[in-house]
Amino acid sequence: MKNRVRELRTEAGMTQQQLADLVHVSSRTIISLEKGQYNPSLLLAYRLALVFRITVEDLYCLAENKEQEDRENEEWT
pLDDT at 65: 52
pLDDT at 77: 59
Domain span at residue 37?
5-76
- Band of pLDDT at residue 1, cut at 50, 70 and 90: confident
Domain CATH for 11: 1.10.260.40
Rounded to an integer, what distance in angstroms lies between the CA atom of residue 73 and that of residue 45? 23
| 23-65: pLDDT as tens digits | 999 999 999 999 999 999 999 999 999 999 999 999 988 655 5
Rounded to an integer, what distance in angstroms lies between the CA atom of residue 72 and that of residue 74? 5
Query: DSSP 3-state assignment of 29?
Result: helix
Total domains in the chain come to 1
Report CA torsion sign: 52, 54, 57, 58: negative
Q: How far is CA 19 from CA 7, 48, 66, 72, 77, in A?
A: 12, 8, 28, 32, 40
- Band of pLDDT at residue 9, cut at 50, 70 and 90: very high
